[in-house]
Structures are given as structure tokens and as C-alpha cells.
Structure 1
Amino acid sequence: MAEQRMIIEMGMGNDQYGMDYTKAAARAIEDAIRHSALPIFASLDLSTDAMRVQVTVGVQEPDKVDIASLAAKLPRGHAEVLAVKGGLNVENPAGNTIVVASAAVEAFLPPQTGWTLKS
């Protein structure tokens, strides 16, 4: 059986003055995971090393996102980060562009024995 998605969190972040897509993406990821607690690992006596974390960030210019630095900042599991076209650039009349990023953080575990998920 394939691994099972156990967690999905969404977040939003921005960079108001530097037009830094990586900074906006990092803030979106932080927003997504900031309110999460993962008691499942202690409950099942399972290491967080068993978890694969898949992050998708949406920004207007995905090629300007340093995905390796974002993956390195994730606190648990084996992380993969993908930057895709999305988010929003907001032109400020003062002359700067505000970068808005969205993020989806998903956590997957191998199948566990002794309990099952509902369909």
C-alpha cells in the first residue's frame, strides 16, 4: 500500500518591500505549520524521520524561489519543496511590489499497522 497523507496545512506569506519570493514563500510555510501539533508521533511511538513532507508554494515567479533553502528550514521529516505559478504581485502606488505567496504543506507516512484510516 502506498504512503498515506496524514496532514495538510495551508498558509500565506508576503514580502512587502524587497520583492523576495523566497522570503514570502518561507513566511507562507511558517504560517501553515505554526499552528500545528503532531501528537500522532508520540501516540504511535513513531519517529518523525518516517514522515515525508511535501510543500508546494505558489508565487508569480517560481524560478526566483530558493527551494533548497526552504526545504532545509523544515523542522521534521524528509522535505521536498516545489515552487509553482500562483500567489500574487500587488503593485503599490509608492513604487514597490508586494509579493504574496501561498503554501500547502502535506505530510505523508508509510502505512501503519494496528489502526486504519476512514475512507
Structure 2
Amino acid sequence: MPDRRMIIEMGMGNDQYGMDYTKAAARAIEDAIRHSALPVFATLDLSTDAMRVNVTVGVQEPDRVDTAALAAALPRGHATVSVVKGGLNVANPAGNTIVIASAAVEAFLPAQTGWVLKS
């Protein structure tokens, strides 16, 4: 059976002074996962190693994001990170550009037997 998405969280992060797209993306991912809890693992006696995590980050310059570093920083599951054009670059009157990233973090579990989610 295919994996089933159990959780999706969204987050936003920025780098105000360094135009560091990876830092802004990391902050967006942290913002998303900071809002989630995963009691399903303890409830079903599952290891978090069973979880597949897909992260999609939007920034204005996707090629400037270190996806391997972002995936390595995720605390649980087997992660993949992809980057798409999105987010915002905002010119600051002080002369620098603020980089704003958005992120979606999805957690997938193998299909489980013996219980079902109610619609």
C-alpha cells in the first residue's frame, strides 16, 4: 500500500541582512515543525523512522538553497527537500534585501491496518 500523508504544516522564515536563502528556508521549516506534535507514533507504537518527510520551500532564487543541509537538519523521518520559485525578496531602504521563504512540511506514514481515520 502507498504511504499516506498524515500531517502538513506551513511556515515562513526570513533572513533580514545576509540574503542567505538557506537560512531563510531553514527558519521557514523550523516555523512549520514548531507547530506540530506527533503523538500518533507513541499511540500506535511506531518508530519515527517509518515516516517519510517531504519539504517544499519557496524562495525567489531556488538555486541558492542548500537542500542537503536542510534535509540533514530535520529531526525525524527520512526527508527530501525541494525548492521552487516563490517567497519574496523585499528591498529595504537601508540598502539590503530581505529574503522571505515559505515552506510546506508533509509527513507520510506507511498505510496502517487495524484502525482508520474518520472522515
Q: Is TM > 0.5 for Structure 1 vs Structure 2?
A: yes
Secondary structure class of the residue paired with 2:116: coil
The aligned residue for residue 8 of structure 1 is 8
Please give the TM-score of this superposition, normalised by the length of structure 1: 0.98
Give, in angstroms, the shift of residue 30 of structure 1. 0.2
Residues in 2 aligned to 1:22 and 1:92: alpha-carbon distance in whole angstroms: 19
Give, in angstroms, the shift of residue 16 of structure 1. 0.1
Name structure 2 gaps, 5 residues minimum.
none
Please give the TM-score of this superposition, normalised by the length of structure 2: 0.98
Give, in angstroms, the shift of residue 118 of structure 1. 3.6
The aligned residue for residue 17 of structure 1 is 17
CA offset digits 1:8-31 (Å, max 9, x no partner) = 000000000000000000000000
The aligned residue for residue 71 of structure 1 is 71
Q: Does 1:55 align with 2:85?
A: no
Percent pairwise identity? 86
Residues in 1 aligned to 2:118 and 2:36: alpha-carbon distance in whole angstroms: 21
CA offset digits 1:62-113 (Å, max 9, x no partner) = 0000000000000000000001000000001110000000000000000001
Moved over 3 A (4+): none
Paired AA for residue 27 in structure 1: R
How many residue pairs were aligned? 119
The aligned residue for residue 89 of structure 2 is 89
Secondary structure class of the residue paired with 1:31: helix
CA RMSD of superposed structures (Å): 0.8
Residues in 2 aligned to 1:4 and 1:117: alpha-carbon distance in whole angstroms: 11
Name structure 1 gaps, 5 residues minimum.
none
The aligned residue for residue 40 of structure 1 is 40
